[in-house]
Amino acid sequence: MGIIWIILFIVLLVALFSVQNAAPVAISFLFWKFQASLAIVIFLCVLAGIVIGVTAMIVMGMKKAGRRKRVSPGGPGNVT
């Protein structure tokens, strides 16, 4: 039951943020120009940051797993 209250609180905060930041802003990117709600622009920027961060974590994890496979089972100092 507690998780429902947390989700409801987060949804309420997002709705309040969206209502308070509903003003249109002009976006210029390379050759494109358009207008969008400030809340949508901020949401898309946060979403892009999450995607980039998760992708970087996955790549780093794959590199770390690759290094672990190359190390001998006895460790780097195990010489026989």
**pLDDT tens-digit profile of 27-48?**
898 988 989 988 888 888 899 9
32 in a domain, yes or no?
A: yes
Distance CA 44, CA 25 (A): 14
- Give the predicted TM-score (pTM) of the model: 0.62
The torsion angles phi and psi of 57, rounded to 5 degrees, stand at: -65, -40
12 in a domain, yes or no?
A: no
Q: How many structural domains comprise the chain?
A: 1
Flag whether pLDDT at 51 surpasses 60.
yes
**Which residues are paired to 32 by β-bridges?**
29
Tell me the residue range of the domain where 36 lies. Answer: 18-69
77 in a domain, yes or no?
A: no
9 in a domain, yes or no?
A: no
